[in-house]
Structure 1
């Protein structure tokens, strides 16, 4: 049992729950000064690549969108569509939002609604750091 706890802790510390792999190019959208840089570092350590911004003009293997309450839901849907345009082979797409009770905390129903508008399903939020939750998006009909 102790071994399983160590494995789960290691997976979380290495950002493996995002579904990214070594060599993946991950694009982040809506980055701002309030993001949790430790999440960025964990993804970069896992992939061995620097995160690229929304101006990156080549195909990417995964996407992270930083979302905060007060941002327009339609803008989130548009951002999801724009971000997935550059995505290779249905790679992982994540919306990261501040946890409830934190400044900028966004309702998961807002993210779910925007995802649906963009043609995606939104999973149950997952804690990805002390202050941020992540919601994985998948195209309709693409499994769990």
Structure 2
């Protein structure tokens, strides 16, 4: 929900993950496409994103330009740099990639150096991690 007269999301009512989702940069009115969906994703995170952007997540069949790419990525999913390059082709200028990787204790956790290397290859900068349940989110943006 938005507070009267502002674009701020009221996180007191609703999903407790709305605050960390907002911290990643999600905001009302954004078009978000989701890649990497599988049975291990956190539905509460997905719902929080939909609540904050005030609309549904688009799936891989969406062919329009988007503001945000929500990318669920696990160790063993392939070449992260290739996936990031593909994601960049769907984004509006000024958009970002929200990279969600498994958190501590999971066997498919993505090593931090893998994310950093992929970002370097793609000329992206990663923000610090935001805890989202069993996942960690990072905002990836183009270097200026």
Aligned to 1:13: 17
Q: CA offsets per residue over residues 1-36 of structure 1, 9 Å max, x none?
A: xxxxxxxx7596322112122121101111111001
Structure (1/2) with the larger helix percentage:
1
> Does 1:108 find its partner at 2:112?
yes
Question: Which consecutive residues of structure 2, in runs of 5 or more, have no partner in the other structure?
Answer: 1-10
Aligned to 1:65: 71
> Does 1:41 find its partner at 2:47?
yes
Alignment partners' CA distance in 1, 2:61 and 2:107: 27
TM-score normalised according to structure 1 size:
0.82
Query: 1:55 Cα shift?
Result: 2.4
Alignment partners' CA distance in 2, 1:13 and 1:125: 14
Query: 1:101 Cα shift?
Result: 1.0
Sort the Cα spacing of 1:87 and 1:32 in 2 relative to 1 into closer, same or farther, 3 A: same
SS class of match (1:91): strand
Structure (1/2) with the larger strand percentage:
2
Aligned to 2:3: none
Question: Which consecutive residues of structure 1, in runs of 5 or more, have no partner in the other structure?
Answer: 1-8
Cα RMSD (Å): 2.1
